[in-house]
Amino acid sequence: MIRFMNLAVTESERDSLIQVILQVFNHGIFINGPELTEFESKIAKFHNRKYANGVCSGSGALLYALRALEIGMGDEVITTSLSWIATANAIASSGATPIFADVDSDLNINIESIEKLITHKTKAILPVHYAGRVCKIDEVLKLAKENNLKVLEDASQAIGASKNGILAGSFGDVSAFSLNPMKVLGALGEAGVVLSDNKEIKERIDILRYNGTINKESCIAVSLNGRMDTLQASILLERLRTFTNIIEKRREIAYYYHKHLEDVVKTPLENEGEKNSWYSYTIMGEDRDYLQKYLLEHGIETKIQHPILMPEQIAYKGSKCIIDNAQKIVKQILCIPANEKITKNEQDYIIERIRRFYGK
């Protein structure tokens, strides 16, 4: 079986990770240890941002970022309809109402639909850089400026992706990343980070991620603990040194797929000035469900990221949304194995099977 993803730590990485874990064992500062501070400083610098807050997860990162922007009850936040449900849940958990915009064929948020959804209650736009591709961020920023809105980027799937040399997560007022094990830069458990250039936002998140307290005793905001473990920070710090190599390897895989599949399915490719992080390789084709079944019967595991549009989830039924295009697209998308661990032979086999399915 060709697995969609294999998260086992490779032999070549094992020793270096054990070393960094042992360092944490030795100093014993498992929360707020020196590795966390160093990771925050390096990840901020990598993104040309002033501040980073390491937190418990991408979901936590989004929620803390929204709260630090003082978004809550009575406010509306416009996001995409195609993302993992964490994006909507973070908005709703802040007390605000998620409003769902349509997507374009690049699977990213559609600008015209955002424009139509803006009301006097709208406080922010929360675009997701979906599947590792930077969204039409210039237009999002322009719209936000014209309407006096904040921009919170959900860059969970796009760490290392860029547009015209600027990295995902470096455009908006604040950005949130998931660093869970599936991500291109991943910890060995739950982790996330918030980036910003605003000291007040950074300091508010320091408080929010520690039960709303200052120095543990004085509670000034209702919140729950959500700091990043020192152990996870130590792993991320080590992986940060080489994660751009992973993107390069994934780019090679993506271009090879494109070359051999573009005549049978819609394949993603980088536009001028774009560098994707290739979090997932999402093809679009007719008879998607049959294709997925056929590939599984032939030993190829695939995934649909994400099979249910957020406004169509039971928890969000009745939400305000524009999803005409998204409803068509969500029936066609399929992620095929494209992580750095798949071999050339495996890739050739996947290509051959997809071509055969479409009679080529």
First and final C-alpha spacing in the chain? 23
Which amino acid, 101? A
3-state SS of 267-294 is CCCCCCCEECCCCCEEEECCCHHHHHHH
276 binds ligand PLP per the rule CB under 6 A = no
178 binds ligand PLP per the rule CB under 6 A = yes
Q: Which is nearer to ligand PLP, 178 or 347 (CB)?
A: 178
282 binds ligand PLP per the rule CB under 6 A = no
Q: Which is nearer to ligand PLP, 83 or 276 (CB)?
A: 83
Q: Of residues 94, 156, 267, 302, which one binds ligand PLP by CB under 6 A?
A: 156
Residues contacting ligand PLP: total by CB under 6 A? 15
Cis omega (within 30 of 0) on the bond before 306?
A: yes
- Is residue 96 within 8 A of residue 66, CB to CB? The reply is yes
CB 62 to ligand PLP: min, Å: 6
Question: DSSP 3-state assignment of 346?
Answer: helix
Q: At what angle do helices 243-261 and 344-357 cross, to 10 degrees?
A: 30
137 binds ligand PLP per the rule CB under 6 A = no
Distance CA 229, CA 249 (A): 29
CB 296 to ligand PLP: min, Å: 22
Per CB under 6 A, which region of 99-107, 150-158, 220-228, 262-270 contacts ligand PLP?
150-158
- Is residue 178 within 8 A of residue 37, CB to CB? The reply is no
CB 274 to ligand PLP: min, Å: 18
Q: Of residues 35, 36, 54, 58, which one binds ligand PLP by CB under 6 A?
A: 58
Q: How far is CA 69 from the centre of its chain?
A: 20
Q: Which is nearer to ligand PLP, 33 or 169 (CB)?
A: 169
59 binds ligand PLP per the rule CB under 6 A = yes
Q: Of residues 53, 57, 196, 232, which one binds ligand PLP by CB under 6 A?
A: 57
Give the angle subtended at the CA of 169 by the CAs of 262 and 136, to the nearest 5°: 50
- Is residue 237 within 8 A of residue 221, CB to CB? The reply is no
Q: Of residues 86, 159, 231, 336, which one binds ligand PLP by CB under 6 A?
A: 86
280 binds ligand PLP per the rule CB under 6 A = no
- Is residue 195 within 8 A of residue 169, CB to CB? The reply is yes
For ligand PLP, the binding residues (CB under 6 A) are 57-59, 83-84, 86-87, 128, 154, 156-157, 178, 180, 190, 192
